[in-house]
Structure 1
Amino acid sequence: MGDAIPDRAIVAILRPFVRATRPVLDGLRESDPFGLRNRVTARDDGTLDERGLRDKILDALAAVEVPGTAAWAAMDTPARTRWWVRRVGRFTTVVAAVPGLGGALAKRLPVSSAVGAAAQGLLLVAIAGEHGVRDEDELVNLLGAVLFRRELAVAAATRAEDAEADARAAEITGGLGEPSTTPTLRRVAGVVWRLGRALLAVEDELDKRPHGNILHEGLSMLPVVGAAGKYLGEWSGLKKAARSAEKRLAERAG
């Protein structure tokens, strides 16, 4: 498809994507969005419980520092960006790696494509927020430039387009962000998968998003180590997306 896809079609996909990232990023910003700090890692008799991979991964996440602390307030924007790279990267890796978190979608969508694209989109919106950029049209432009390498002509949404974007975002979030909805790990993971599915509407365009290098690509094609190669490639792509976003946002500020 390439550049044959008109800008307005890309914008129509990115508007609800941007709106749907808000409850996910809010959940990731919170100090304990998934109740991880209350996880029990030892029994009363002092011996460790026998836990599986899922529990070990969640325990590791529980030890990660988050916004809201004095240390966070003292961090500069580049340091906060690095935090977001680690936070988003770790979270989406868990979403891809832990069986069941992706629900039915995880069985039908390619992990590296769906979760990788959603991770990069989430990261771009988060980094923009640290730079004080929250305007939807600017965020759509940022995603278009980094993910698709296109300078989109973003026009103000009409009333009908705005309503359609709201409806699509609500479908993606599935109620996450509502006052009565607790942002559990499974719910946030489901939104990440639906974000990935939304971007797959322009799957050919996603070939342009930041990827790993030729070594990662080669590893991903080998038996046994293929999964590691895909992970390293997505991790490398995530960092490249962050650098591209920071460069663009710095140029904007300048």
Structure 2
Amino acid sequence: MAEAISDANVVAVLRPFVRACGPMLDALRESDPFGLQARARREEDELAGVEPGLKDKLLNGLTSVKVPGTAAWAGMTGYQRSSWWMNRVGRFTALVTSIPGLGGALADRLPVQDTLGAASQGLLLCALAGEYGVTDVGARVRLIAWVLFERDIDPELAAGRHAQHDEAAEETETAKLTEELAEAERKHGKATLKACAGTLWRLGRALLGITEELEKRPRGRLFHRALGLLPVVGAAGDYLGERSGLRVVWKRGHEWLTTHPA
């Protein structure tokens, strides 16, 4: 029988994971990834000679889209923004997670599905935490451990204030996980879609150290799992299952965050 995974083991894996989630979420939330703010500034210059009323309507239409980097986004409540993360980002990560399902039962015997699925769920939880103003790494570690693994981690342990904590090793692992994002920033001045996808894969691999715990994470219903065992169409079952699991994670994340305010 394999040795039980301790809370300290979970924390050692989750702390660099949480720290690596930050740069990717920051790129989406704060850097105007859709270019709407920059476009609005260009449009304002180009519309210098347009009648003021029409000009205002055009600019308001451009910045009223509810995505990160717009005025409409800034005016949304934390709950509304967290809903956006669930429906938009959640849909993307669930689709990425479902790709291994093309192999049917063979792929399900490998940890790919669980690692990518857990990485997607952890990323969503970090996004939710940010919208609630919870930025502390230890608090996010406790959030993920509670929602995904049903563990109530001691705050001091989650904060890294214990004898076994290796700050240097944590820094090194975080740098490895965010290597593609940093490279994209150097080359393109921003995080690219390819870099984000590669980072999601790295985040999944980082969770292999607690593979047994990943089996506890919320997932789809029995119907989704049965469909996921079939070749080719298994991708559809895995996709629906991951979407179902993300909804459970989203709900449980709200429960924890409302009882553990920043």
Say whether 1:167 aligns with 2:172: yes
Separation in structure 1 between the aligned mates of residue 196 and residue 233 of structure 2, nearest angstrom: 29
Separation in structure 1 between the aligned mates of residue 3 and residue 134 of structure 2, nearest angstrom: 27
**Once structures 1 and 2 are overlaid, which stretch shifts more, 214-223 or 20-29?**
214-223
- Note closer, same or farther for the CA distance 1:90–1:8 as it changes in structure 2 (3 Å cut): same
1:16 alignment partner, SS class = helix
Stretches of structure 1 lacking an aligned partner (at least 5 in a row): 39-63, 100-105
| Alignment of structure 1 residues 1-254 onto 2, 5 Å | 4-29=4-29, 30-32=31-33, 65-93=66-94, 95-96=96-97, 110-153=111-154, 154-155=156-157, 156-157=159-160, 161-174=166-179, 176-177=181-182, 180-181=186-187, 182-253=190-261
Q: Give the letter for the 1:204 counterpart.
A: E
Separation in structure 2 between the aligned mates of residue 150 and residue 117 of structure 1, nearest angstrom: 15
1:65-107 deviation per Cα after TM superposition (whole angstroms, max 9, x unaligned): 52122221232222111101123223324545789xxxxxx9x
1:253 alignment partner, SS class = coil
CA contact (8 A) 1:147 1:206 kept: yes
Separation in structure 2 between the aligned mates of residue 245 and residue 3 of structure 1, nearest angstrom: 29
Q: Which has the higher helix share?
A: 2
Separation in structure 2 between the aligned mates of residue 222 and residue 157 of structure 1, nearest angstrom: 43
Q: Give the letter for the 1:226 counterpart.
A: G
Stretches of structure 2 lacking an aligned partner (at least 5 in a row): 40-64, 101-106
For this pair of structures, how many residues does the alignment match? Answer: 220
Separation in structure 2 between the aligned mates of residue 163 and residue 33 of structure 1, nearest angstrom: 35
Separation in structure 1 between the aligned mates of residue 123 and residue 229 of structure 2, nearest angstrom: 27
Q: Give the letter for the 1:24 counterpart.
A: M
Separation in structure 2 between the aligned mates of residue 25 and residue 180 of structure 1, nearest angstrom: 18
CA contact (8 A) 1:89 1:119 kept: yes
1:19-59 deviation per Cα after TM superposition (whole angstroms, max 9, x unaligned): 10011112222432699x99xxxxxxxxxxxxxxxxxxxxx
Separation in structure 2 between the aligned mates of residue 79 and residue 208 of structure 1, nearest angstrom: 28
Separation in structure 2 between the aligned mates of residue 248 and residue 86 of structure 1, nearest angstrom: 20
Q: Give the letter for the 1:115 counterpart.
A: L
- 1:5 deviates by 1.0
1:102 aligns to what?
none
Moved over 6 A (4+): none
1:45 aligns to what?
none
- Note closer, same or farther for the CA distance 1:204–1:98 as it changes in structure 2 (3 Å cut): closer
CA contact (8 A) 2:225 2:238 kept: yes
CA contact (8 A) 1:34 1:184 kept: no
1:113 alignment partner, SS class = helix
The TM-score with structure 2 as length reference comes to 0.74
Aligned-pair identity in percent equals 48
**Once structures 1 and 2 are overlaid, which stretch shifts more, 231-240 or 153-162?**
153-162
- Note closer, same or farther for the CA distance 1:249–1:66 as it changes in structure 2 (3 Å cut): same
Separation in structure 2 between the aligned mates of residue 2 and residue 144 of structure 1, nearest angstrom: 20
Separation in structure 2 between the aligned mates of residue 206 and residue 220 of structure 1, nearest angstrom: 17
Aligned-residue Cα RMSD (Å) equals: 3.1
The TM-score with structure 1 as length reference comes to 0.76
Separation in structure 1 between the aligned mates of residue 227 and residue 243 of structure 2, nearest angstrom: 14
